[in-house]
Amino acid sequence: MTIEDDIGAAIAVAIDAPDWRATFPTIEAICRRAILAALAGRGPNQSVEISVLLTNDAHMRELNRRYRDRDASTNVLSFPADVTRNCAGEPRLLGDIVLAHETVVAEAASQGKSVADHATHLLIHGTLHLLGHDHHTDADAEVMEGLEVSALSALGIGDPYQQTELSRE
């Protein structure tokens, strides 16, 4: 399903793990809200495209092994598009975000958060990676976390870093 909006974002959501729909019948709306909140501070309104894959731990483990040499599942992966030029009038392809259902649900439970709020946070986190933000240094992490907290606050979701630290892998 692709959702387009009035700020120039096309968000394609693919679900290959049925547990996502069982947990969230309106998961596409959660994806849209989170990504739009992360994009709100991006500056000039250039049309962008983002795709989301909602998968399971087995698939995420394979992706993590193939692209990051880590033989384990993880909560979120971002794959920025390797596009140096865009065609005039075409949206800027930002890339892909992948979330693993079992990991997201388990982390939310262990952190005492709602699964919807945790998934929203991870989608914002992934979108910020696609926009070029990272958290390899403490200074970069502070900037990125500030952007995450701001986007979450705009959605009425509290600061996740007051409760726990998101893994800085």
Handedness of CA 39, 40, 42, 48 (dihedral sign): positive
pLDDT in tens, 38-60: 998 665 566 889 999 999 999 99
List domains and CATH numbers for the chain.
Answer: 2-162 (3.40.390.30)
Distance CA 69, CA 87 (A): 33
**Model confidence pTM above 0.85:** yes
Which tens digit of pLDDT belongs to each residue from 28-41?
999 999 999 999 86
